[in-house]
Structure 1
Amino acid sequence: MSKLTVKEKIGYGLGDGASNIIWQTIMLFMAYFYTDIYGLSAFHMGIMFLVVRILDAFFDVYIGFLADHTSTKHGQFRPYLLWFSLPFGILGSLTFFTPEFGETGKLIYAYVSYTALSLLYTLVNVPYCAMINNLSQNPDERVSMQSYRFAFAALGGIIVSVIALPLTKTLGGGNLQHGYFYSMVLMGIISTVMFYLCFALTNEKYVRPVDKSQKFSTVFKELRHLSSDRNWRKLFLLNVVNLTAGILKTGGAMYFVTYYLHRPDLVSIILTIILGAKFFGSMFTTALYSRLDRLFAYKMAMTVQAAIMFGLFFVPAQYVVVICVIIGCIHFINSTATPLQWSLLSDIIDHIESKAGKSFSGLVFSTNIFAIKVGIAIGGALMGWLLTVGGYIGNSATQADTATLCIRLIFTVIPALLILSLILILRKYNLDQKKDGGAYSPKNASTDDLSEVKGELR
């Protein structure tokens, strides 16, 4: 199997950079934007995050099925980047537009725009994620591509953290509602260009035969076979819990810096530290873990990360430099492990496809993104409800002690507990990597009996 060129890896990475120009803005600023700029209550925001994410998540499965049965002159998954990147960039800006409506009208607009953006994210990101198995069949190359991918994802986030808040002030002329919208118009343009470059610089070399005659009803049979795989179930749950923790860590940063440190001037700096740590962490994955079992390395990274997060809770607000260093360490460690986690999905795809004799990449990655969106929904709702319970008042210069305590818990202790639970979820995960040309097999085949898959799916 030939190795991919650096140009191809950069091209693949640009796709997640493009996604994260928009998506990191949502992760970092959306909750704060809705409560303090747009004017939604924390309670309504929490309900909306939960409802929209769960509704949208079901769309993921359909797109995964559709992508698995797509065949064009441009490939199987790449065309989706060409078709839907521009609409995704446009909706990214419209979601941060504040219409001059009443409370009900603004709530409806938020639901519609946020849902549309999430659907378009699915249309570009499910095929993008699934594309990796068509780019290379080499396990080490896939880990390397995931490292490039998440490095560029962090780079996209760095662009957001460095220029977003200054742009909102500069472009808005003192009006933050206008500032957020105009800033996102620029972000949408950058995102679209990066997606087009990803399309141009990649090539799907390994495409399984596609049966375009398959009807959507087939997806239920395919989902049944996925759900019968214990390792797939574990990774699905892992993504739900991991993203619940992730949305608390990232979405809570604005509140933590503004209302616990009382240093809103440091928001851009701390967000840059977070995303810079993610960038370098992703690039160090191979160097740190190449000699270790991937599963062991992942569990070790999660344990260390959780321990540091517990410690952060007890650091007094005046120790700003210490807090910045700790936050950087947390996100560096987390990002070294992220490519490992995503490479496990490729193992599952190889295992299932070797039995079924057909493409499962789109469906596996779409159900993975389904899990991610459920996790984001739970995390966003949990954050909104905890802020409400704590007595948080949006855009208030001072907050009650209970609100400040909730903000600290949201940013440190609660995600730390969730991260520790990931280790328990991965108990008895039994898919072994065997570097014999990209083949994978379970330690105990009886636990994942897919011997009948090929016959039933045809």
Structure 2
Amino acid sequence: MTIAMSGVDQETAFPSDAEPDRVRSWEKISYGLGDFACGLGWNVVGAFLLYFYTNVALLPAAAVGTLFLLSRLFDAGVDLGVGLLVDRTRTRWGRTRPYFLFTAVPFSILLVLTFTTIDGSAGAKLAYAYVTFSLLGILYSFLAVPFSALMPMMTKDHGSRMQLGSARAVGTSVSVILATAATIPLVGLLGGGDERLGFALVAGVFAVLTLAALLNLFASCRERHHDEMPKGEAVGPQIGKMLRNRAWFVTFLFCTLNFVRFGCVLSVTAFFAIEVMKAPWMIGILLPAVSGTLLLSAFIAPMIFKRTGIRKGCIVALILAIALHCTLPMIEAQHGLFLAIFLIAAILISLTMTAIFTMAADAVDYHEWIFGIRNEGLLSSGISLSTKIGMAIGTAIIAYVLGMAGYDPTTVSDSARAAIRWSYYGWPIGIMLVQIVVIAFWPMDGQHERIRREIAARTI
């Protein structure tokens, strides 16, 4: 099946350039703003929706855990369908850009509705949460999958991809900083002490920013490389090839683990700062640092990975980050030192997050090298699926831990505080250890030029 829209042709509306792989500066900035748009609302959801549901909407923590797990696993499955649609889409705007145009408005509206709670019974509130959160996740799939598929279509040059990956890391970083550092102060300022009103208004502000950035992404970024029309290959064999793509499979596992860790840390940090550290003000530092340090790593990662390769660079960064995390429980009383160590560890972890963006694009070249077809949409949908699965598992873990510990926002027990403390340290360290094992199997370091030459030779 091919998606076609009125006034379309079989290629993008942009003419070819004399330098087809030249990515202009504004395109790089716009691509980064595209990740800001995709990430802003999703980071607010990851950082504060569990808090909003339990402390504002007053829903049971265990029920919220099931909500996160079921809703996100469902819309993770949607990602594969969206990926297949992207591979079959042909419009005068290209393959990916129409999705930014037509999804921007409904996604922005759903963001506000997700942070709005209704009057009624707990069952009615929970049903409303299921509907709004699930629809938001589905619409996010129609943004995130085409967005990831866009990078390998923009350029085949590895250096340019590293630059685009860095621009994307900057966008992610800014979205995290704004979502995590500004949300609680803005909730208080705009809500005037009413958190229910404050969250709805903050979501409205973020929705406007998201809409503007998505429309700019549609208008500014160009598609230069993609396959011819698919010849009707069945879905099963396409997915089978994807699973046999070692570069893609390593990226998928590494990214999934990263977002399990990310979901755990985002969800538990507010509880940790308030109940364990007894310092609510630390929320505005700890949460932005979780991936806000991507802003710095975006500039240093290309230089580091150029020298070390992705595999060795990620392994060293993760080992150092684990060592630093192990010192944190011993210095909780020294807030300044705690934050300094935490920030250094966050920078190291952010290097590995920056690498994921380039790995995902490189996996497309590896796929073409092995199977003779790029399948950008399907491969990108698999990576988007990994973020959904990871966040679903990570957030659900924290919600279930709170539920099993008997967390009550009105009277927090010592056992609940102990569970929060263990979750803050234990899950991230364990997950990073597994990531080290996974990234050791990355196959692309030092192979880019060889792969590009062999692919080019087939067309001569």
Relative to the length of structure 1, the TM-score reads: 0.90
Q: Which amino acid aligns with 2:184?
A: L
Q: Give the aligned partner of residue 310 of structure 2.
A: 294
- Deviation of the 1:5 alpha carbon: 2.3
CA contact (8 A) 1:50 1:381 kept: yes
CA distance in 2, matches of 1:267, 1:183: 17
Match of 1:282 in 2: 298
Decide which of 407, 413, 419 is 2:420's aligned counterpart.
407
- In structure 1, how many angstroms separate the alpha carbons of the residues matched to 2:349 and 2:24? 27
1:214 matched residue in structure 2: 232
Deviations 1:348-385 (A, max 9, x none): 21121244443411111101111221111111111111
Query: Kindly tell me: are residues 438 and 12 of structure 1, through their superposed partners in 2, closer, same or farther at Cα, counting changes over 3 Å?
Result: farther
Is 2:430 the partner of 1:423?
no
Stretch moving more, 263-272 or 417-426: 263-272
1:50 equivalenced with 2:69 (yes/no) = yes
Q: 1:447 aligns to what? A: none
Q: What are the equivalent positions in structure 2 for 1:60-139 lying under 5 Å apart? A: 60-139=79-158
Q: CA shift at 1:61, angstroms?
A: 0.2
For structure 2, the residue ranges without an aligned partner over 5 or more in a row are: 1-18, 455-460
1:305 is displaced (CA, Å) by: 1.4
2:66, 2:292 → 1: CA distance? 32
Cα RMSD, aligned residues only: 2.1
Question: In structure 2, which of residues 231, 234, 243 is the aligned counterpart of residue 227 of structure 1?
Answer: 243
| AA of the residue aligned to 1:341 | I
Q: 1:276 to 1:61 in 2, by over 3 A?
A: closer
Residue aligning to 1:335: 350
Distance 1:422 1:369, change over 3 A: same
2:393 maps to 1:378: yes
Distance 1:278 1:429 in 2: 22
Equivalent of residue 346 in structure 1, options 346, 352, 361:
361
105-114 vs 354-363, which deviates more? 354-363
Distance 1:143 1:123 in 2: 24
Could you tell me the percent identity over the aligned residues? Answer: 25
CA contact (8 A) 1:210 1:359 kept: no
Tell me if 1:29 matches 2:42: no
Residues 414 and 76 of structure 1, relative CA distance in 2, 3 Å threshold: same
Shift in Å, 1:275: 4.9
Number of residue pairs matched?
Answer: 437
Q: Distance in 1 between matches of 2:276 and 2:222?
A: 48
Partner of 2:286: 270
2:114–2:132 contact (8 Å) kept in structure 1: yes
Deviations 1:58-96 (A, max 9, x none): 100000000011111111111111110111111111100
Q: What is the DSSP-based 3-state SS (H/G/I as helix, E as strand, rest coil) of the residue aligned with 1:307?
A: helix
For residue 3 of structure 1, report the CA deviation from its aligned partner: 3.4
Secondary structure of 1:39 counterpart: coil
* 1:175 maps to amino acid: D
Asked if 1:323 is matched to 2:350, the reply is no
| CA deviation after TM superposition for structure 1 residue 115, in Å | 0.3
Q: Is the 8 A contact 2:315 2:440 kept in 1?
A: no
Inter-partner Cα distance in structure 2 for 1:114 and 1:165: 20
Output the CA distance in 2 between the equivalents of 1:167 and 1:275: 20
Question: Would the aligned equivalents of 2:317 and 2:349 in 1 still touch at CA under 8 Å?
Answer: yes
CA distance in 2, matches of 1:258, 1:26: 19
The amino acid of 1:368's aligned partner reads: I
